Structure 1
Amino acid sequence: MDFRIDPDTWFVFSTLFISGLGLFIAGFIVIPYLLRKKQIERLQFKFVRNNHRYEEVVKNISHRKEIFLENNNRKLKSDLSSSLRKIAKSNNNELDVITFFSDFEKVYPDFTTSLQKINPNITANELKLCALLRLNLSAKEVSKILNITPESVNKARYRLRKKIGLKPKEDLDIFLINI
C-alpha cells in the first residue's frame, strides 16, 4: 500500500491546522480577557453607583444634623431671651443669672475663648458685660441685669474698649457680634 500525500494538500492541511490551533489558543486568551474586562467595568460601575449613594446618604445625614442643630440653636436662643426677660423682671436672682450665662455659653460656645485669645487679662465681670453686649442690650437693660447703674455700664464699656484696643471709630457692639 502506497500511501502518498500530495504536497499541496499537506500544505493546505497544515495551514488550516495551525490557523485553527492559533484561533483556539487565541480564543482561550481573548475570551477570558474580554469577560474579565466586562466584569471589571461592571464592578467599577457598581463602585461608582455605591459611592454616589454613600455621598447622598452622608449629605442627607449632614443636612439632617444641620437642621437639628439649627432647631436646637433656635430653641436655645428663645430660651436665652426668655431667661433674659425673666432676669430683667425679677429681683436679680443670682441663680437665674448663672443659668442665663450657662445658656449663653451653649448658644455661643466659642465666644469667651475667642475673647480670652484677644485679651487674656479679661475679667469675669467683663466677660459678663461682653455677653450682654453681644445680645445688643442697652446700657439700661445691662444695668438692671448686673445690678449697677447705667453710668457704670458706660464706664465699663469704655474700659473694655481700651483693654481690647479698639480704635475710636470702631464700635464695640459690632466687634463683639463679629467674634
Structure 2
Amino acid sequence: MDFRVNTDTWFVFCILFISALALCIILYITMPFFIRKREVDRIKSRRKNTIFKYNELDRKKTEFKVSIQEDNIKKLKIDISDYIYQITRSDSNSHSLVPFYSNFEKIYPNFSHSLKKLSPNISANELKLCALIRLNLNSKEIGELLNITQDSVNKARYRLRKKLGLTPNEDIFTTLLNIK
C-alpha cells in the first residue's frame, strides 16, 4: 500500500490545523475575559440601580421628615395662638407662660441663640419680650401676659431697641422677624 501525501495538501492541512489550534487557544483565553467583563457590567448596573433606589428612598424619607416637621410647626403655632388667646381672655392674675415659651422654642429653635449673638447682654425677661413681639402682639396684650402696665411694656421696648442698636425709624417687629 502506497500512501503518498501531496506536499501542497499537507501544507494546507498543517496551516488549517495550526489556525484552528490558535483559534481555540485565543477563545480559551478571551472568552473568560468577556464573560467577566459582562458580569462586571451587570454588577455595576445593579449597583447604579441600587444607589438610585437608595437615593430615591432617602429623598422620600427627607421629604417625609420635612412634611412631618412642617405639620408639627403648624400644630405648635396653633397651640401657641390658642394658648395666648386663653391667657388673654382669662381673668386669672397669675399666668404660667412656661408651656408657651417651650412651644415657642420648638417653633423657632435658634431665635434666642441668634438674638444673644446680636446682643450678648440681653436678659431673660427681654428674651421673653422679644418672643412676644415676634408673635406680633401689641403692648396691651403683652402687658396682660406679663402682668405689667402698657407703659412698662413701652419702656421695655425702648430699652430693647437701645440694646439691639435700632434707630427710631427701624421697626422692632421686622427686625425680630428677620432673626432666624
Q: TM-score, normalised by structure 1?
A: 0.91
Matched, 1:113 2:113: yes
Percent identity between matched residues is 49
5 Å-filtered alignment, 1:42-53, equals 42-53=42-53
Stretches of structure 1 lacking an aligned partner (at least 5 in a row): none
For 1:175, the equivalent position in structure 2 comes to 175
For 2:73, the equivalent position in structure 1 comes to 73
Amino acid at match of 2:138: S
| Aligned residue pair count | 178
For 2:128, the equivalent position in structure 1 comes to 128
- Between the two structures, name the one with larger relative contact order (CA 8 Å, sep ≥ 6): 2
Residue aligned with 1:137, SS: coil
For 1:166, the equivalent position in structure 2 comes to 166
Distance 1:92 1:82, change over 3 A: farther
Quick one: distance in 2 between partners of 1:42 and 1:156?
71
5 Å-filtered alignment, 1:1-179, equals 5-90=5-90, 91-94=92-95, 96-179=96-179
Deviation track 1:88-145 (CA, whole Å, cap 9, x = no partner) reads 1232424x21221122112111111111111111001100100000000011111111
Distance 1:167 1:4, change over 3 A: farther
Deviation track 1:135-168 (CA, whole Å, cap 9, x = no partner) reads 0001111111111121221121111111111233
Quick one: distance in 1 between partners of 2:41 and 2:50?
14
Q: TM-score, normalised by structure 2?
A: 0.91
Quick one: distance in 1 between partners of 2:101 and 2:24?
84
- What's the offset of the Cα at 1:5? 4.3
Amino acid at match of 1:154: N
Stretches of structure 2 lacking an aligned partner (at least 5 in a row): none
Quick one: distance in 2 between partners of 1:163 and 1:26?
86
- What's the offset of the Cα at 1:4? 5.4
CA contact (8 A) 1:87 1:93 kept: no
Quick one: distance in 1 between partners of 2:42 and 2:93?
71
